Each structure stands twice: as C-alpha cells, then as structure tokens.
Amino acid sequence: MRKPLSTGCLLIVLVLAARTVNAWHARGCVFCDANGNGQIDGEDIPLSDVLVIATDLGGTFFESERTALNGCYVIKLLDVPESYRLTLDVSTLPPDVSFVVPNVNEQFGTTTDVVTDLNHQWLVASPTCVQAACWLTGGGVKFDTITGAWLAEHGPKHTFGGNVFPSCDPDPGQGG
C-alpha cells in the first residue's frame, strides 16, 4: 500500500513545478534598416539565421540561439537572478553591417525575482538589405502615333515580357 504525500512534500512539488513553468528568457528580434530611418518599423527586414549569444557577466553561462524566419529569437536563461550580455555573431549578419539600435554589438540586462524576461531588439544597417525602388516594363508592341498603326506584322498587339530596373534580383535576366 502506498503512503499519500504529506502536505509539505506536495507543496515542494507544486513550487518546483511552478518555477519550471516560469522559465527565464532573453527574447527579441533582429531587423535590417531597409528604409534607412534609424528606427525599428514595419518597413524593416527581419533577419533570419542570425546567431544571438547570451553570456552571464561572471563567465559561467553561455547560451545561443538563431533567429527564426521572422527575425525573432528566444534564449533560455538561468532561473536565478543574474546579469547578462547579449551579442550578435557578426559572421551571421550581412556584409558591411553597422549597428543602429543599439549602436554597438552588445546589450545588457539583469533578471530578478520579478524581471524574468529580457527583451532586446536589434536594428542593423547594410547596403545588402536596403530596399531599392524597382520597376518592371510591360513589354508590348510599338504603336506609331503618326500613322496610327501597330508596328507588328504578326501576332497579338499585347505581349508580356520586359525587364526589371534597377534589378531587384542579384542575378538579373536579359529582358525579353
């Protein structure tokens, strides 16, 4: 026959279970300043696969996580009050990156019994992620405004094709 848990044991189990549910995290997102205004807004590009690194200031804790497709990350921290330094691995960022928010590659935060989540947003700038204005020509058949005639001997008057300028693709086509 099994003995029932005492009230004290049950209380300890409940406290430990509750502490696991309230895990402590560092979270945020990494964006590229596509519109160049120096502010995080809806026009910026989320950066995926950027490695975000969290270390405690005492040098005993190290954890990292890559950003998801939406540019966001969540890193599990120690479930005790601690001070942390967060950095981005620059080898996982676009080339020629500069830091906008914050203006250096580090952010600091401290967890307490009340503050269990650190929220840090990142905004970087790079020529790679600046949105270029581009347009697509519609192609078609030329029309002579003097004679009022279409200049195609055969085929439809409306065709599709054209080219994008400036190219929004790193490997542009040749038109057509």
Q: Is 157 within the bounds of a domain?
A: yes
Quick one: pLDDT at residue 128?
83
Q: Is 6 within the bounds of a domain?
A: no
Same domain, 86 and 33: yes
DSSP H helices in the chain: 7-21
Task: Report whether pLDDT(168) > 90.
Answer: no
Who has greater pLDDT, 130 or 93? 93
In whole angstroms, what separates CA 141 from the centre of its chain? 43
Structural domain harbouring 29: 23-129
Same domain, 100 and 142: no
20-29, 42-51, 136-145 — which is least confidently predicted? 136-145
Quick one: pLDDT at residue 154?
54
DSSP string, 23-59: --EEEEEEEE-TT-SSS--TTSEEPPS-EEEEEETTS
Same domain, 103 and 115: yes
* Count of domains forming the chain: 2
Task: Give the pLDDT band (50/70/90) at residue 99.
Answer: very high
Same domain, 115 and 45: yes
Backbone angles phi, psi at 62, to 5 degrees: -145, 125
Nearest alpha carbon to residue 30 among 55, 10, 7, 49:
49
Q: Is 174 within the bounds of a domain?
A: no
Measured CA to CA, the distance from residue 122 to residue 126 in angstroms comes to 13
Quick one: pLDDT at residue 95?
86
CA distances from 102 to 7, 84, 92, 122, 125 (A): 50, 16, 17, 7, 11
End-to-end Cα spacing for the chain: 84
